[in-house]
Amino acid sequence: MSRATLAAVAIVSAAILAYQVLLMRLFSIVSWHHFAYMIISIALLGFGASGTTLALAQRKLLPHFRAVFAASAALFAVMAIASFAAAIRLPFNPLAIVWDARQLFWLTLIYALLVLPFFFGGGAIGLAFSRYRQEISRLYAFDLVGAGIGALGVVGVLFLLSPTATLRVISALGLLAAALVLLPDVVRRRFRLAATGLCLAAVVVLWLPSSLISLHRHVSEYKGLAMALRVPGAHIIEERSSPLGLISVVESPTIPFRHAPGLSLNNTVEPPLQLGVFTDAEAISTITRFEGDLKRLSYLDFTTSALPYHLLGNPTVLILGASGGEQVLLALYHGARQIDAVELNPQVLNLVVGKYADFAGGIYGRPEVELHIGEARSFVKRTDDRYHLIQIPLLYSFGATAAGTQSLHENYTYTVEAIGDYLNHLQPDGLLSITLWLKLPPRDMLKLVATAVEALTEHAITDPGARLALIRSWKTATLIVKNGVFTATEIAKLKDFATGRSFDLDYYPGIRAEEVDRYNILERPYFFEAAAALVGPHATEYIESYKFAIAPATDDRPYFYDFFKWHSLPELLSLRTQGAADMLDMGYLVLFATLIQAALLSLLLILAPLAIRRRRFGGTAPKARTSAYFVALGLAFLFIEIAYIQRFILFLGHPLYAVAVVLTSFLVFAGGGSGLAPRLDRALRTRHQERRLGALEVAVAGISGVAVLHFLGLPPLFAALIALPDSVKIIVSLALIAPLAFLMGMPFPLGIARIGRESPDLVPWAWCINGCASVIGAILATLLAIQFGFAVLVMMAITLYLTTPLTLRMNEPAQ
């Protein structure tokens, strides 16, 4: 096998992985991310389909390896752009899926289109596996290292280039890989011509007309940005792109934004001029014009978030999620003496500090304001300061939460451990204030109350109810958790604040039933009843009997926005067209539907070659055990990878860093393990022939040992090292993951090598099984993590790994 071929395999592998990550970005902009997940998961089964095709046609294809590989890689390059360009032009509207069965047809068509690039890309790699099965370990190592570089590289490239420009680069990479594989044969005239043509095509791809893949034209017309831009005079004045999202700043001079969610009906002041800041064409936040006149901000005092300022005098404040600066303005309005503003997305802060600093009145440059870029929990873990007030404002747009799109997202801001951390950083009698959208029937606020009660209980507080207060406007609700017991004076101030703004009191220590539901009246006093039950002795029974999942979120199961309960599903589905569609947690259901689809398609792809060419595979290999081996590997690898990505989010401080660092280290170090596996296997088998101990047994024992060690050791280690600089934490993460990933890279090539020796026709089939299991593994891992937590997920992965020596050993011919 030539170096050029190895490099071509690595490049195709990098391009495929980069394409997968990029598609998630692209679809999050034009549509909504949970449908993006569904589309990409299914499209990945193109790998499986390519394995099946190769299993059927490899004898015809293998003699023309270079030409077929080059054609596959080139078709990947072409289809990477063409499939996406076609898919965004289809009239698919995920919002109408409840009402309109035709949407399923469009969705299927999108699947069909996006399978193609993965089919051709996977086909190229699968072909190389079949052609060079004797050198499988080296090839697999290049495949994994390439994938790792692709995963990390695309994140880096997205900081420099727009998503559509990145798509062109990926396509060009596919064409270059095609040219590269022809190099060893370039003395042949037609190969020379083809290689030159492919290189030229790669250059042409970079200059494709932008209208072909322009995102703006194809953003769903129901997304916030598209709607805002329809207002006369509204236009985009700035755009910033990064892997964290596409930020669009919109100016609407004719009809101002006037964004002030849940403002009291007693307010009479119109909000000042604002710039709308959209992330991925949705999730509006604003930059408010501030010219130094605090009176112009008086409307902010008519939001539920203003409550804590009426209970404290000139506090020191920590704002977790500062965004465009609205909460900083509120703190300034109330004379906060020190404000630490934390924001995850540096691009949003750069806008307020840089280009629009004058518009925003230089709020982030004021002496009492200090800016911090980072994730909320990480910041709190790092700082030694204690505050009078920790303020967590509305984090997501109403539309997104209403549609249940966050249910699949881990969220470490609202967990039992998080609230414990916040309490540890409050001054005595300090306040934690969390504002959420008002959702009916109540879900997230009840989960937050349950989570706060649990956190207080874990802090050895015997009467959590004495430290909680909950108020509500017609659109938002604010929960206050006090680091101390509420006094009679504070309760009187709380009542004054709420009454003066027509906000409802849902809970405070000593609240009476006749005080609730006075201004914003519900069918029944849901929030009062629930809060009273959740602070009482029968909270557990209440949580169990509630029709949505409102049990406290924890760091092990940080799915705050998941409210799904299976036993409520039939009732909600039967009522879906009568108003229950909004109550369905679409994220969870979409994920489940994706799992079913993926499982059925995988079964088809795995069984099809057997059904069609039973004769050919009728040799020595027992299919069920071969399948079990590769299914177990696919599932277990993904279970561990996903659990580790989640586990490292807190430590690395950003989901993006966690994905990039964990994914890359798993792929690259697994590549290393793969390269070493056959030598280790030979050495061990020579030494321990009588015990039949090979590299697989050692790898599996090692994986189990390291995973258990991590399970016990990582939480205290993370707590001790979290204050280190990011660069050091990345190195620590790589060092921690390396041994595990190295061992996890061994079983696949060992299995492939074994069946390559015994039944070569089965190699692409095994590749297909492993690909399918990986797709199912990714979906199943998320579902299992939501249901049981990460610890259980890792334990399941260990169990799966422990079965592999048995299945492979049973495949061995009698010696």
Partner 1 sequence: MSRQARLASAFFAAVLFAAPAPAQEARTQERAAMVAGIEAHVRLAPQAVKNGVIGPAVLQAMRTIPRHEFVPETVRPHAYEDRPLPIGYGQTISQPFIVALMTDLLDVAPGDKVLEIGTGSGYQAAVLSSLAERVYSIEIMLELGNRAGEVLRRLGFANVETKIADGYYGWPAKGPLDAIVVTAAASHIPPPLLEQLKPGGRMVIPIGGPFSAQQLMLVEKKSSGGITTRQLLPVQFVPFTGGTGQR
Tell me which of 547, 616, 623, 685 binds partner 1, using CB under 8 A: 547
Whether the bond into 441 is cis, omega within 30 of 0: yes
Task: Say whether residue 470 binds partner 1 (CB under 8 A).
Answer: no
User: CB count, 10 Å around CB of 569?
Assistant: 15
Nearer to partner 1, 232 or 292 (CB): 232
Tell me which of 148, 174, 261, 393 binds partner 1, using CB under 8 A: 261
| Sheet of 282-288, strands arranged across | 235-242, 245-251, 274-279, 282-288
Task: Say whether residue 739 binds partner 1 (CB under 8 A).
Answer: no
- One character per residue 126-155, x = contact with partner 1 (rule: CB under 8 A): ------------------------------
Output the smallest distance, CB 223 to partner 1, in A. 8
CA distance 520 to 472: 8
CA distance 408 to 32: 13
Output the smallest distance, CB 432 to partner 1, in A. 25
Nearer to partner 1, 538 or 688 (CB): 538
Nearer to partner 1, 258 or 625 (CB): 258
CA distance 478 to 470: 6
∠ CA 55-60-64, nearest 5°, is 115
Output the smallest distance, CB 32 to partner 1, in A. 11
Tell me which of 216, 258, 459, 625 binds partner 1, using CB under 8 A: 258
Output the smallest distance, CB 393 to partner 1, in A. 14
Task: Say whether residue 514 binds partner 1 (CB under 8 A).
Answer: no
Please choose, out of 253-261, 356-364, 368-376, 742-750, the segment that lies near partner 1 by the rule CB under 8 A.
253-261
With CA atoms as reference, report the closest residue to 792 among 469, 554, 499, 486: 554
Please choose, out of 165-173, 175-183, 256-264, 661-669, the segment that lies near partner 1 by the rule CB under 8 A.
256-264
With CA atoms as reference, report the closest residue to 762 among 605, 600, 601, 610: 610
CA distance 510 to 478: 18
Buried b / exposed e along 357-395 (16+ C-beta atoms within 10 A)? bebbbebbeeebbebbbbbbbbbbbeeeeebbbbbbbbb
CA distance 614 to 114: 30
Output the smallest distance, CB 113 to partner 1, in A. 23
Tell me which of 19, 422, 507, 548 binds partner 1, using CB under 8 A: 548
Tell me which of 243, 245, 262, 678 binds partner 1, using CB under 8 A: 262
Helix ranges, 459-505 (H): 488-500
Task: Say whether residue 583 binds partner 1 (CB under 8 A).
Answer: yes
Could you give the maximum distance between any two Cα atoms of the chain, in Å? 91
Nearer to partner 1, 502 or 597 (CB): 502
Q: Do the beta carbons of residue 797 and residue 747 sit within 8 Å?
A: no
Please choose, out of 199-207, 306-314, 514-522, 782-790, the segment that lies near partner 1 by the rule CB under 8 A.
514-522
- 3-class DSSP string for 294-354: HHHHHHHHHCHHHHHHHHCCCCEEEEECCCCCHHHHHHHHCCCCEEEEEECCHHHHHHHHC
Please choose, out of 364-372, 457-465, 515-523, 694-702, the segment that lies near partner 1 by the rule CB under 8 A.
515-523
Total residues at interface with partner 1 (CB under 8 A):
64
Nearer to partner 1, 186 or 522 (CB): 522
Exposed (0-12), middle (13-18) or buried (19+): which is 8, by Cβ within 10 Å? buried
Exposed (0-12), middle (13-18) or buried (19+): which is 515, by Cβ within 10 Å? middle
Task: Say whether residue 523 binds partner 1 (CB under 8 A).
Answer: yes
- One character per residue 525-544, x = contact with partner 1 (rule: CB under 8 A): -x--x--xx--x-x--xx--
- One character per residue 385-414, x = contact with partner 1 (rule: CB under 8 A): --------------x--xx-----------
Task: Say whether residue 250 binds partner 1 (CB under 8 A).
Answer: no
- Contacts to partner 1 from residues 428-457, by CB under 8 A: 440-442
Output the smallest distance, CB 475 to partner 1, in A. 7
Q: At what angle do helices 695-721 and 655-687 cross, to 10 degrees?
A: 150
Output the smallest distance, CB 234 to partner 1, in A. 10
Nearer to partner 1, 533 or 638 (CB): 533
With CA atoms as reference, report the closest residue to 118 among 780, 774, 640: 774
Using only C-alpha atoms, the chain has a radius of gyration, in whole angstroms, of 28
CA distance 199 to 182: 11
Output the smallest distance, CB 802 to partner 1, in A. 40
Tell me which of 270, 370, 385, 463 binds partner 1, using CB under 8 A: 270
Task: Say whether residue 496 binds partner 1 (CB under 8 A).
Answer: no
Tell me which of 1, 7, 573, 580 binds partner 1, using CB under 8 A: 580
Nearer to partner 1, 91 or 292 (CB): 91
Residue type for 645, please? I
Q: Do the beta carbons of residue 438 and residue 471 sit within 8 Å?
A: no
| Sheet of 369-373, strands arranged across | 369-373, 338-343, 316-320, 387-392, 426-437, 476-482, 468-472, 504-507
Task: Say whether residue 575 binds partner 1 (CB under 8 A).
Answer: yes
Scan for tokens 């290999």, then name that residue.
Answer: 621
Task: Say whether residue 726 binds partner 1 (CB under 8 A).
Answer: no
User: CB count, 10 Å around CB of 592?
Assistant: 15
C-alpha dihedral sign at 7, 12, 16, 19: positive
Task: Say whether residue 104 binds partner 1 (CB under 8 A).
Answer: no
Task: Say whether residue 379 binds partner 1 (CB under 8 A).
Answer: no
Tell me which of 14, 44, 260, 750 binds partner 1, using CB under 8 A: 260
Tell me which of 231, 466, 573, 693 binds partner 1, using CB under 8 A: 231
Please choose, out of 120-128, 223-231, 382-390, 489-497, the segment that lies near partner 1 by the rule CB under 8 A.
223-231
Scan for tokens 């600066």, then name that residue.
Answer: 325
Nearer to partner 1, 468 or 581 (CB): 581
Nearer to partner 1, 471 or 649 (CB): 471
Task: Say whether residue 606 binds partner 1 (CB under 8 A).
Answer: no
Task: Say whether residue 298 binds partner 1 (CB under 8 A).
Answer: no
Nearer to partner 1, 414 or 548 (CB): 548
Nearer to partner 1, 241 or 568 (CB): 568
With CA atoms as reference, report the closest residue to 198 among 174, 168, 175, 177: 175
CA distance 769 to 128: 17
Output the smallest distance, CB 648 to partner 1, in A. 34
Task: Say whether residue 287 binds partner 1 (CB under 8 A).
Answer: no
Tell me which of 462, 578, 686, 815 binds partner 1, using CB under 8 A: 578
Task: Say whether residue 384 binds partner 1 (CB under 8 A).
Answer: no
Buried b / exposed e along 172-200 (16+ C-beta atoms within 10 A)? bbbbbbbbbbbbebeeeeebeebbeebbe
Output the smallest distance, CB 245 to partner 1, in A. 20
Interface with partner 1 by CB under 8 A: which residues?
93, 95-96, 98-100, 221-222, 226-227, 230-232, 254-255, 258-263, 265-270, 399, 402-403, 440-442, 474-475, 502, 518-523, 526, 529, 532-533, 536, 538, 541-542, 545-548, 571-572, 575, 577-583
